[in-house]
Chains A and B, each alone.
Chain A
């Protein structure tokens, strides 16, 4: 890692804007991705969810579902939808630099 800040234009992303490599993620990139998706400011509550999701993914290979988030992240489901109006599981994953939740096919 260098001191130079990585910019969103320098990292590889898929057609929907998810990072190709979770290891390239930085908090600054997260802020930029949030802005692209209509969230101008990431509050502590946003970060709580984003970091919980990211850590869980790095630990287990699974991104938690809405229900897991509601049970474990400390943020109730209703609030999750206020924080990430377009769908918390997908949007928080995108901002946190981890892959989109997907099925087996």
Chain B
């Protein structure tokens, strides 16, 4: 079956069917975000024209998602964190802009809403996670974008900015509806920045700032909890734990839990429930009940088909849904796709490595670096002479801000970042004897 023509092709003379010489294989990548873009670029750099790579996305807007955190506080704007998706792809990669209808696993093809069908030899699911505010009763009802907001979308973050600007005190509740969510530290960072923002504006004294979570604490890992709990006390943040949010009443300013508790708010900043991309649900056998794709935690081959791989927020891995995870996975994934195409055994090389800056307000940030087996510990990253771990510093804050340039110019093009290894470094870390030696599932 011939491949569908691209509506927007960065490489107009690429062959449309499988007559090219060389390996002559087709890779279709679903999603042109962090994972899809860096995978396409890594594969193209490695194979050149002998591999036909098509990236599919429903729009041409690549959002630097870590930037969304800063939008509500007027520290950046959407236009500064969005670039065209197709411009981040190497010239040899095609970009096809269309909504994905479904994946037909048995036929090895992707069906698009514009009528096109894309056959593939290898499929990469990189379509991320989306928020599902409608999963919570009343969340998008009266009050939505008036006194009930989310900063997890460009529209939501933009709408929240003037609301925070107008805020003159009262109860500001930050609520995590359910796990998993993208960037699990973002709600904590938002709360810290809100404390800073409201103090700067002289309304903090008139504000009760509440963080509510379905987990049993803000910091649930023993070592992080020991090092960081002072932050909540220092900033006067109230914590509502094990709160399973079930219903939002925007008119009445109430958030209700499944177990009958109520939290009053004047301003609610909700982190809605998350699920995978909608087409995953429309594709029999591809995803779990939340629309995430069951994936081997170390090779990134999916458990649904040998020729289907996945990375980033779209997977069901027990790793954080975060850009750093996707970045490290991308290196392993591109290697393993090459191995698969060449008939070699896959390498179980991804160790769950994640690396995240956590803004704490007032120009400071924390850094955490961890993997499947080791929870965040103190020390320095990447070596003893690097940035401080689990400790507030100005350097971490500056590094967080500087990272956006690295994202566009090194991470997305699929270049290695000097000094940053895919596997988690141990040098520089102070690993306590009782650090959790995580046992992740039975697959490893």
**A residues in contact (CB < 8 Å) with B:** 21-22, 57-62, 65-68, 71-72, 77-78, 81, 85, 87, 89-90, 99-105
Contact = CB atoms under 8 A, between A and B. Distances in A.
A102 B179 CA distance: 9
B178 A103 contact: no
B348 to A, nearest CB: 14
Contacts of B236: none
Interface in B96-150: 135
B155 interface: no
B81 interface: no
A67 B273 contact: yes
Contacts of A60: 294, 316-318, 441, 443
Contacts of B219: 103, 105
Contacts of B228: 105
A96 to B, nearest CB: 14
Interface residues of B, number: 46
B314 interface: no
Interface stretch (B20-28, B67-75, B368-376, B410-418): B368-376
A105 B221 contact: yes
A66 B178 contact: yes
A54 B372 CA distance: 18
Prevailing SS type, chain B contact patch: loop
B1 interface: no
Interface of B: 135, 178-180, 184-185, 188, 213-216, 219-221, 224, 228, 242, 244, 246, 258-259, 273, 288-290, 294, 297, 316-318, 320, 322, 354, 356, 358, 368, 370, 372, 375-376, 438-443
6 contacts: A60-B316, A62-B318, A65-B178, A66-B178, A72-B288, A105-B376
A71 B281 CA distance: 13
Contacts of A78: 258
Nearest to A72: B289
A71 B290 CA distance: 8
Contacts of B214: 65-66, 89, 101
Contacts of A101: 179, 214-216, 220
Contacts of B317: 60-62
Given A71-B289, A85-B259, A101-B215, 16 more contacts: A61-B318, A62-B317, A66-B214, A66-B244, A67-B135, A72-B289, A87-B244, A87-B259, A90-B242, A101-B179, A102-B221, A103-B179, A103-B213, A103-B215, A103-B220, A105-B358
Nearest to B356: A104
Contact of B220 (A66, A67, A77, A105): A105
A58 B440 CA distance: 8
Nearest to A62: B318
A21 B439 contact: yes
